[in-house]
Structure 1
């Protein structure tokens, strides 16, 4: 069991969800797109066929409803939502060479990309 845990941690596939972990949400890879909207933005990252997204609030402050999702064409969306102060991110989603659809929201503002990164 310890060996499996060590391998998952080393490969970056283990996401530790604890208090404040969503506040420090980040993605590996290079930023390939920024989708701005009235109350924040969604940063989209890509690395070796995997796509990840982070919704960032325009202003840091009290906790508010935030969400982010990434969907590879032909797959179900990976959604993360909840009350956060600054940011919320998805884990890496395997897209390969498929298009992805990214959505994000902060309070009453939101964005939706349509099919991108094809």
Structure 2
């Protein structure tokens, strides 16, 4: 009998106060989810770019409608084109080319960012370019 007060199985639902905690969880969790939906679209496009590529940011090229960001991990380089003001779909493009290799391109009509594109860049230079609408930016050979 003494063990029935400490049980954590199905009998725990019969304890005083257990129903209130469960009801509170059912009320709080949807509110947290709704808050995430409200804050999600207004979140920073830069934060989305960071989560799109792994590694450290090594180069940012800004242009009038957005920016080109290049990231480097140990063996790979990654690039994204990020909109300055996310919103309606518009033509965006990002390209990343390792020296001696073919360029990897992502282009289309996007709202926030184009990419990520990734190439193997262990001991290799890369160059990147990005465009959005009528403006563009590019790097020379970097990471040499």
Q: Could you state the TM-score of these two structures normalised by the residue count of structure 1?
A: 0.76
Q: What CA deviation, in whole Å up to 9, does each residue of 1:11-53 have, x standing for no partner? A: xxxxxxxxxxxx9561011111111111100111111120000
Residue from 123, 132, 135 that aligns with 1:97 = 123
- Structure 2 match to 1:30: 56
Per-residue deviation, 1:99: 0.8
Structure 1, unmatched stretches of 5+, are 1-22
- Structure 1 match to 2:99: 73
Per-residue deviation, 1:58: 1.0
User: Could you tell me how far apart the structure 2 residues matched to 1:91 and 1:109 are?
Assistant: 20
CA contact (8 A) 2:96 2:117 kept: no
The structure with the largest strand share of the pair is: 1
Per-residue deviation, 1:90: 2.8
4+ residue runs over 3 A deviation: none
User: Between Structure 1 and Structure 2, how many residues are aligned?
Assistant: 96
CA RMSD, Structure 1 to Structure 2 (Å)? 1.5
Per-residue deviation, 1:82: 0.3
Per-residue deviation, 1:91: 3.2
Residue from 41, 63, 83 that aligns with 2:109 = 83
- Structure 2 match to 1:111: 137
Per-residue deviation, 1:108: 0.5
CA contact (8 A) 2:80 2:117 kept: no
- Structure 1 match to 2:74: 48
Higher relative CO (Cα under 8 Å, sequence separation at least 6) belongs to 1
